[in-house]
Amino acid sequence: MTIVTHDQTNTDTSPVAVKLGRSPHHVAIIMDGNGRWAKQRGLPRSAGHRQGTENLRRILRAAVEFDVKVLTIYAFSTENWSRPRREVSLLMRILEMVLDRELKELNENGVQIRHIGEMDGIPDRIQKKIKEACELTRNNNELILNVAFNYGGRDEIVHAVQNIIRDGVSAEDVTEEMISNYLYTGGLPDPDLIIRTSGEFRLSNFLIWQGSYAEYYYSDVYWPDFDKEEFRGALEDYANRRRRFGKTDEQIDEDTV
Ligand code: IPE
Ligand code: IPE
Ligand code: MG
């Protein structure tokens, strides 16, 4: 995969290109609709997952171009284990294949890979590859790519609470900031924008703590077809939102002078 930081063919002066200052720093994507994409074409679900993986390459490239600094992708949820065994193993193999085929170029393009989710349960061979990929790319800073794999928001909070107790923290010392730091995303800013494709309006256990003040964007397009232009549309929509964080419009106007 070649990620270009500057698209030579792009003479684009659209709002996103102009409003780079308003690009969300952290975008998270619930990549949904692979199965329905395939079904619509009379193809097996596996074809949808393959096409979805292809699309991820496009979106990664676009993310760098659109100046997104952190991209979190939901690739496999703790609930996805309940899918048919064959589909689960295919999704495992797809992650392995992406790591095998793309790691070198992702690294050359300055992408820092992180894993969020529970390692236990992922086949040992793939755990090893995930760890190697994270280790190899840990000093890169063009784009942080958080791969949510065997990830569940509730599971993440349970895990954080267990570690807080193990560390002997007393009840009165527990703060929101501390909990944030104990999550898999510890040290990263919360997502500014969470995108879900395929017309579903739910979180499915994704970033339930971190998304408390995120902007949400839902698209009817199935993930394999959610291309650069669709992504641009989501960022444009974000650029026109007014984030109040509980304040009034007047306060926000004052803050921005
Ligand atoms: C998203 O597509 C990929 C994963 C959840 C791994 P789906 O496989 O959920 O596709 P639909 O929702 O059945 O169309
Ligand atoms: C969410 O999609 C999980 C991922 C995209 C990895 P699902 O397709 O699993 O979500 P539900 O089951 O429709 O809520
Ligand atoms: Mg789905």
- DSSP letter, residue 42: T
pLDDT, tens only, 204-214: 999 999 999 99
- Verify whether residue 55 is a known catalytic residue: no
Does residue 69 have a pLDDT over 90?
Answer: yes
Ligand 2 in reach of 222 Cβ (< 6 A): no
Nearest CA to 112 out of 141, 71, 74 is that of 141
Does residue 185 have a pLDDT over 60?
Answer: yes
Does residue 12 have a pLDDT over 70?
Answer: no
* Interatomic CA distance for residues 138 and 197, integer angstroms: 29
What pLDDT does 15 receive? 43
Annotated catalytic residue: which of 67, 80, 107, 140?
80
What pLDDT does 53 receive? 98
Does residue 113 have a pLDDT over 90?
Answer: yes
- Average pLDDT estimate for 9-31: 65
Structure tokens at 157: 């909070």
* Interatomic CA distance for residues 12 and 21, integer angstroms: 16
CA R_g for the chain: 19
- Average pLDDT estimate for 52-73: 97
CA of 204 to the centre of ligand 2 (A): 6
If you search the block for the tokens 């529970």, which residue do you land on? 118
What are the C-alpha distances in Å from 10 to residues 6, 66, 201, 239? Answer: 8, 12, 33, 20
What pLDDT does 257 receive? 73
What pLDDT does 255 receive? 85
Ligand 1 in reach of 31 Cβ (< 6 A): yes
Least confident among 5-9, 74-78, 182-186: 5-9
In percent, the amount of the chain with pLDDT more than 90 equals 89
Ligand 1 in reach of 32 Cβ (< 6 A): yes
Please tell me which residue, 1 or 51, carries the higher pLDDT value: 51
Does residue 17 have a pLDDT over 50?
Answer: no
Q: Are 143 and 111 in contact (CB under 8 A)?
A: yes
Look at residue 186 and give its three-state secondary structure: coil
Ligand 1 in reach of 80 Cβ (< 6 A): yes
Look at residue 10 and give its three-state secondary structure: coil
- Verify whether residue 80 is a known catalytic residue: yes
Q: Which ligand is nearest to the CA of 37?
A: 1
User: What's the mean per-residue pLDDT of the chain?
Assistant: 93
pTM of the entire predicted model? 0.93
What pLDDT does 256 receive? 79
